[in-house]
């Protein structure tokens, strides 16, 4: 299995090997590389799809210590993976937490981003109060996992097609990666100058407002609302999502 060693972490990733444009796929909280199988099947031979597991998720190996989990670590992991694969610039795509981290990666490394695909996510919060409320929910999620184990994970369809190492690892990811730290991402939206595709399921009520907010503030963003789909929109309706991707990628 392919791993990138970043002491003390071993990042798991899969590279489709397609000859076309590289696309880095980041999953959501509680999901893993398995959530992108429908996209690899459709595009893996034409594009170079690189899917990976964040710290605390999937087959990535990471000691369960708080110091190993943060949004800054996640951005550095994404950069290290692109460097390891000798990819100078890629389409940066992500679902939910992975979508937010894709935006955060663009803030830090805009020169490495050819385009953005943001699925089922929001841009974070400008208000300290709103961030504190979100972080309380993230802490509650962590405690639920610690007390109830993986059986307490729940989640939408993308979680059901994913694997996880342990509830403890996910709890650390909730505290260290899922938690909001600043307003850099939401403040960056009007400055984004690369093509952007926003995809969301019509029943994804938790993120519809955030998705619409991004669509209004990112110049030229394409916003696709997929009927009869929830949060795991690419798992619920892979054909519809793949059609949107097909059209968008042809313009990049």
Per-residue pLDDT of the chain (252 residues; tens, 9 = 90+): 799 999 999 999 999 999 999 999 999 999 999 999 999 999 999 999 999 999 999 999 999 999 999 999 999 999 999 999 999 999 999 999 999 999 999 999 999 999 999 999 999 999 999 999 999 999 999 999 999 999 999 888 999 999 999 999 999 999 999 999 999 999 999 999 999 999 999 999 999 999 999 999 999 999 999 999 999 999 999 999 999 999 999 999
Q: How far is CA 83 from the centre of its chain?
A: 19
Pick from 174, 109, 118: which is nearest to 145 by CA? 174
Is CATH 3.40.50.1820 the right assignment for the domain spanning 3-249?
yes
Strand runs (DSSP E) across the chain, as ranges?
3-6, 9-15, 22-26, 48-52, 90-95, 113-119, 196-201, 222-226
Predicted model pTM: 0.97
């Amino acid at each position: 299995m392919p791993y990138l060693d970043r002491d003390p972490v071993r990042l798991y990733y899969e590279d489709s090997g397609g000859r076309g444009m590289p696309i880095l796929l980041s999953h959501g909280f509680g999901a893993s590389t398995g959530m992108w199988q429908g996209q690899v099947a459709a595009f893996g031979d034409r594009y170079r799809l690189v899917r990976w597991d964040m710290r605390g998720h999937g087959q990535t190996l990471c000691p369960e210590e708080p110091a190993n989990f943060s949004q800054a670590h996640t951005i550095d992991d994404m950069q290290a993976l692109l460097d390891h694969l000798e990819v100078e610039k890629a389409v940066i795509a992500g679902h939910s937490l992975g979508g937010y981290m894709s935006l955060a990666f663009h803030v830090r490394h805009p020169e490495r981003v050819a385009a953005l695909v943001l699925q089922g996510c929001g841009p974070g919060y400008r208000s300290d109060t709103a961030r504190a409320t979100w972080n309380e929910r993230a802490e509650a999620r962590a405690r639920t996992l610690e007390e109830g184990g993986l059986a307490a994970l729940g989640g939408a369809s993308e979680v059901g097609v994913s694997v996880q190492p342990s509830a403890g690892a996910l709890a650390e990811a909730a505290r260290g990666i899922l938690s909001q730290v600043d307003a850099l991402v939401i403040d960056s939206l009007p400055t984004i100058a690369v093509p952007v595709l926003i995809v969301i399921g019509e029943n994804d009520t938790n993120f519809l407002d955030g998705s619409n907010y991004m669509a209004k503030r990112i110049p030229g963003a394409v916003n696709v609302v997929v009927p009869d789909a929830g949060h795991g929109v690419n798992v619920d309706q892979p054909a519809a999502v793949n059609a949107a991707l097909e059209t968008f990628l042809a313009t990049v």
